């Protein structure tokens, strides 16, 4: 069977950035206005007041200090509390394709490949800007790539799902090489009026070039030892937005059309699910966790990441063994693990083993065991 490699990665980060302090000031002003407007109901006990947020609360809960966003406009306005993104005409490039292309071009350059070398494009993300024509086909056309393209939605595991599907296509001879891209506009489904989630997401796009390992010659090439996917149904992270919403005007704008989650339940259920999933995958490949030089985990929150890393390694990991990028980027859904890999993989040596794992709503989980090539 053809062994596949990640021969290059790319990262696009929006120029706009929002600090915790800015986000907290906006949220607390919203909370003040809401509580003042509903003072009578709050006094009578029929309505709970909205509690203030703080930088200390956000850092302790998540490890996040700032996040990059595609548009600051509107996000910090207590009367708006959402990104204001002008709609583009049909003959203009979509925003999602725009950031996908920026990451894709970076990955192609790192892999020392051109669009002519690629036969497939997978745009894998937690949300999509539209259902059709698919964003992947728009990206394919913009790059002048022949072959196939399609979108894939697997929540925060979309990147690893895309990697496995792309690697499978190469192994089966359906493509010489595949671009797997993760344009995550996460602020589009962020509820900035919810204290428990208002700080979570940032925006970013990542991309990987997948090709046969034997011909891969990018400067930071990693051979895929094995991939594995898993899913288990759960309502604990949910977003009910969809085309059927418009048929019931009473609920079209309710909070469940943005992300909702039961954070404590997610933590309690996902940590053992993911750590066992990773350990089982390693065991199936006869790899002792002590042989891993690095873990690139989905960047959900620092407490979850640290606990999963501890369970997999059987000890407290060093920051270098399980790098965390939450402080700078926030949770960028499926792009997070790829940002960690992109930023913290070049220093390792040929033969070193690493474990890339993502996990998220669904629940979904994707595992990619990698070995650096010389």
| Per-residue model confidence as pLDDT tens digits over 258-267 | 999 999 999 9
| Lookup: tokens for 342 | 């992109």
The pLDDT confidence band at residue 180, using thresholds 50, 70 and 90, is very high
What percent of the chain shows pLDDT beyond 70?
100
The pLDDT confidence band at residue 196, using thresholds 50, 70 and 90, is very high
pTM of the model as a whole: 0.96
pLDDT at residue 2, as a whole number: 84
Segment 10-20 mean pLDDT: 98
Classify 222-372 by CATH class: alpha beta
CA–CA distance, 365 with 191 (Å, rounded to integer): 24
Q: Where are the domains of the chain?
A: 222-372
**φ and ψ at residue 329, rounded to 5 degrees:** -110, -20
Say whether pLDDT at 314 is over 90: yes
Active site residue 156: yes
Segment 284-311 mean pLDDT: 97
Q: From the candidates 84, 156, 186, 357, give the one annotated as an active-site residue.
A: 156
pLDDT at residue 262, as a whole number: 93
Tell me the pLDDT tens digit for each residue of 24-74.
999 999 999 999 999 999 999 999 999 999 999 999 999 999 999 999 999
CA–CA distance, 169 with 159 (Å, rounded to integer): 15
C-alpha distances out from residue 319 to 123, 138, 178, 310, Å? 30, 39, 32, 12
321-359: b (≥16 Cβ within 10 Å) or e:
bbbbbbbbbbbbbbbbbbbbbbebbeebeeebbbbbbbb
**Cβ count near 74 (within 10 Å):** 14
pLDDT at residue 51, as a whole number: 97
The pLDDT confidence band at residue 84, using thresholds 50, 70 and 90, is very high
Say whether pLDDT at 299 is over 80: yes
Whether 204 and 181 have beta carbons less than 8 Å apart is answered as no
pLDDT at residue 374, as a whole number: 84
Tell me the pLDDT tens digit for each residue of 244-283.
998 998 998 899 999 999 999 999 999 999 999 999 999 9
């Amino acid at each position: 069977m053809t062994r596949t490699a990640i021969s290059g990665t790319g990262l696009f980060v929006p120029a706009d950035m929002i600090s915790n302090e800015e986000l907290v000031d906006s949220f607390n002003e919203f909370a003040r206005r809401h509580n003042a407007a509903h003072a009578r109901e709050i006094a009578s006990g029929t309505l709970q007041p909205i509690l203030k947020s703080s930088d200390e609360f956000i850092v302790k809960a998540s490890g996040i200090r700032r996040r990059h966003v595609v548009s600051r406009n509107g996000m910090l306005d207590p009367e708006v509390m959402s990104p204001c993104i002008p709609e583009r005409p049909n003959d203009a490039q979509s925003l999602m394709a725009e950031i996908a292309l920026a990451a894709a071009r970076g990955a192609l350059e790192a892999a020392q490949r051109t669009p002519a070398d690629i036969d497939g494009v997978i745009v894998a993300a937690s949300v999509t800007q539209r259902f059709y024509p698919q964003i992947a086909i728009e990206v394919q056309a913009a790059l002048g790539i022949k072959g196939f393209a399609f979108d894939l939605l697997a929540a925060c595991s979309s990147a690893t799902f895309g990697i496995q599907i792309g690697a499978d296509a190469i192994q089966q001879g359906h493509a010489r090489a595949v671009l797997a891209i993760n344009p995550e506009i996460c602020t589009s489904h962020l509820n900035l009026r919810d204290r428990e989630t208002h700080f979570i997401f940032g925006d970013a796009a990542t991309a990987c070039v997948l090709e046969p390992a034997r011909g891969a010659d990018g400067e930071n090439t990693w051979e895929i030892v094995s991939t594995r996917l898993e899913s288990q149904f759960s309502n604990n992270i949910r977003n009910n937005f969809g085309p059927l919403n418009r048929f019931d005007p009473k609920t079209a704008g309710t909070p469940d059309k943005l992300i909702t989650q039961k954070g404590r339940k997610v933590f309690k259920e996902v940590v053992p699910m993911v750590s066992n999933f990773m350990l089982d995958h390693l065991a199936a490949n006869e790899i002792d966790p002590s042989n891993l030089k690095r873990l690139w985990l989905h960047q959900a929150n620092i407490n979850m990441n640290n606990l999963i890393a501890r369970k997999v390694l059987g000890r407290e990991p060093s920051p270098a063994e399980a790098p965390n990028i939450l402080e700078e980027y926030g949770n960028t859904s499926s792009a997070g693990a790829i940002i960690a890999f992109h930023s913290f993989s070049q220093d390792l040596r040929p033969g070193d083993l690493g474990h890339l794992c993502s996990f998220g709503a669904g629940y979904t989980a994707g595992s990619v065991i990698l070995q650096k090539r010389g």
